[in-house]
Amino acid sequence: MRPLLTIGILLAVFLIIGGAGAYPIDSRVVTTLDSTVFPVAVPSTSSPILPYEVSRYSENGYGNWEYGDGLGFEKRQDLLSPADNYTLATPSGKLLRFFDITDIHITDEETPTQGIYYGYLGGESSGYSPVMLSTTQVLDAAVQTINALHKEDPFDFGISLGDAANNEQYNEIRWYIDILDGKMINPDSGVKDDPVPGPLNDYQDVFKAAGLNTSLPWYQALGNHDHNWIGTNPPDDYLKANYTGEYILNMGNIFKDPGGIKSRGFYMGSIDGRTVNGDIIGVGNVSDFITPPKVLAADPDRRALTVPEWMGEFFNTTSNPKGHGFNQSDARAGIAYYSFEPKSDVPIIVIVLDNTQSATDANAGGYGHGSLDNRQYDWLVSELDRGQTEGKLMIIAAHIPIGVEESGSSLDEYTAWSQVAEVSEQQLLDKLHEYPNLILWIAGHRHLNTITPQVSPNPDHPELGFWEVETSSLRDFPQQFRTFDIVRNTDNTVSIFTTNVDPAVKEGTIAAKSRSYGVAALEIFNHSLPYSPSASYNAELVKPLSPDMQEKIQNYGTPVTAYPSFFLHRNN
């Protein structure tokens, strides 16, 4: 009987893991230059519904969308002085092409340690939305879309701007890296669930990830969700024990209770992975339960990672570069900032910051704000000095944007600069405005597509200004990433062409269902997004250069005649 038993086990493993297929994407892969995703308005006769009533979304007209017209590049000259005349300038050489992707929030929906209570009846969609069921499939669709764009017009690199994981868990970050590496993905935890029998037809099914094109290097930044409980607080011993147990988290209202994560009173809830719509279990007032609620099974792979442990996972990868920007010694010390030069023959440096709050920030009022300590600030200044001295254009990449919200105005929303940061937001902005070679700051965190001109404080030196570009989350509508094309012009400027991209989801797939859920969440939570209804925005961002850099880069870059289809959109 033992050989037959062994064969049976092997067959089961094959069916569960080895026999799984891959999810397809749409055969038509385009950017928002060609078409955009528009939510279809909910009929006025529809009944209001609650976020957790997923089975009622469709019948009440929530979550419907259609394709609309494309968006050309809006030419932005906010950094130029009134005396500048850009109208006669034309692109002459492409210096760099890359993509960024951010706030993917790979989610173990069955963990007992989450914040569903804060969103299942309304309130915080980051606490609950049914998009949390299919984050792995959406990332896989985005990766396949990137690969298709890369085949048509190669990227020099890609960068992920943080919040790769939703809840700092080991299994979440492993799913994330393994998707980019193209491995088999089992997006399930605890016990194996299969809400709809058969392969590739529910959010719990094993699938083969496509993996990022092996010729395309990708880099990583740290986000607040990557090392805090649901992005809000460093986990204490109570939370750490809860992650790998089976009892659903008992927590108070951390947004109002002065006890924060020490408060109690509500079971936070989890997802029943056996159900098609991801039904919520174990949520509500503690007094409403006779016995403490549990998830279906405990799982040691749900353990919370420290920053060094999180960084260390990026060395367990088959894609390039090993470490994805981090080095081993910094990883052991939890130093999550670095710089790299993406092209040896083009004078551009990318400076990657960790501007999340550390556990040592006292009285932080929540740990989702922007922050720099003096040590990292000194390192940043040295990198900016080096880039300026060596005559290199500079890009800063960070999870949290700067100078987009008044500090202290939205502490409960966790989006402003920290009031307890060692380096103030104004101090940092003032320093950045000393470097004419700084052209761009890219960020995520707020789940918005926005562009902010950080104009020079000296009108006689407009080259001291830089552009700030935020990219929306892959989790929430519009579920997009961005491409960037940096182009040398025939005058004293460079242009940054930035383009939103929707993953090319194929109808009937889990990723397509997630887009519908994202639209529904937008409607149910009444979110207001910039550039509605598509929430997409493409722009040509003009940056003036110093005379030294004008001269230095005049012979760099691939002639733009090699990219005729791209530049057809330039004057739209």
Q: What is the pLDDT of residues 335-385, one digit of tens each?
A: 999 999 999 999 999 999 999 998 877 666 688 999 999 999 999 999 999
Is the CB of residue 367 less than 8 Å from the CB of residue 233?
A: yes
Is the CB of residue 507 less than 8 Å from the CB of residue 155?
A: no
pLDDT bin (cut points 50, 70, 90) of residue 5 is: very low
**Whole-number average pLDDT of the chain:** 92
> Would you say residue 17 lies in a domain?
no
Q: Which amino acid is at 123?
A: G
> Would you say residue 272 lies in a domain?
yes
Three-class SS of 136-158: HHHHHHHHHHHHHHHHHCCCCEE
> Would you say residue 448 lies in a domain?
yes
Dist CA 294 CA 82 (whole Å): 64
Residue 33 has pLDDT above 80, yes or no: yes
Residue 500 has pLDDT above 70, yes or no: yes
> Would you say residue 20 lies in a domain?
no
Residue 186 Cα to chain centre, angstroms: 21
Residue 88 has pLDDT above 70, yes or no: no
pLDDT bin (cut points 50, 70, 90) of residue 571 is: very low
Q: Which amino acid is at 225?
A: H
Cβ-in-10-Å burial (0-12, 13-18, 19+) of 458 comes to exposed
Cis peptide before 478 (omega within 30 of 0): yes
Q: What pLDDT, in 10s, does the model give residues 192-209?
A: 999 999 999 999 999 999
DSSP state letter for 262: G
- Please tell me the predicted confidence (pLDDT) of residue 309: 98
Q: How many CA atoms lie within 13 A of 231 on its CB side?
A: 30
| Helix, coil or strand: residue 307 | helix
Q: What pLDDT, in 10s, does the model give residues 437-456?
A: 999 999 999 999 999 999 99
pLDDT bin (cut points 50, 70, 90) of residue 2 is: very low
> 376-380 — which CB contacts under 8 Å span 24+ positions?
376/337, 377/422, 377/423, 377/428, 377/431, 379/337, 380/337, 380/351, 380/353
Nearest to 534 by CA among 25, 73, 131, 71: 71
Residue 285 Cα to chain centre, angstroms: 32
Dist CA 228 CA 214 (whole Å): 31
| Helix, coil or strand: residue 497 | strand
Six-digit token string for 187 = 């997006």
| Lowest-confidence region among 298-302, 438-442, 486-490, 516-520 | 486-490
The position carrying tokens 């992650």 is: 243
State how beta strands 450-454 and 466-470 pair: antiparallel
pLDDT bin (cut points 50, 70, 90) of residue 82 is: confident
Nearest to 400 by CA among 448, 356, 438: 356
Residue 12 has pLDDT above 70, yes or no: no
Residue 522 has pLDDT above 70, yes or no: yes
Higher pLDDT among residues 117 and 405, named by residue? 117
Nearest to 161 by CA among 226, 206, 115, 66: 226
Return the number of other C-beta atoms located less than 10 Å from residue 17's C-beta: 13
Is the CB of residue 209 less than 8 Å from the CB of residue 140?
A: yes
- The number of domains in the chain is 1
> Would you say residue 142 lies in a domain?
yes
Domain residue limits at 435: 35-567
The position carrying tokens 């038509």 is: 28
- Please tell me the predicted confidence (pLDDT) of residue 193: 95
Write the CATH number for 511. Answer: 3.60.21.10
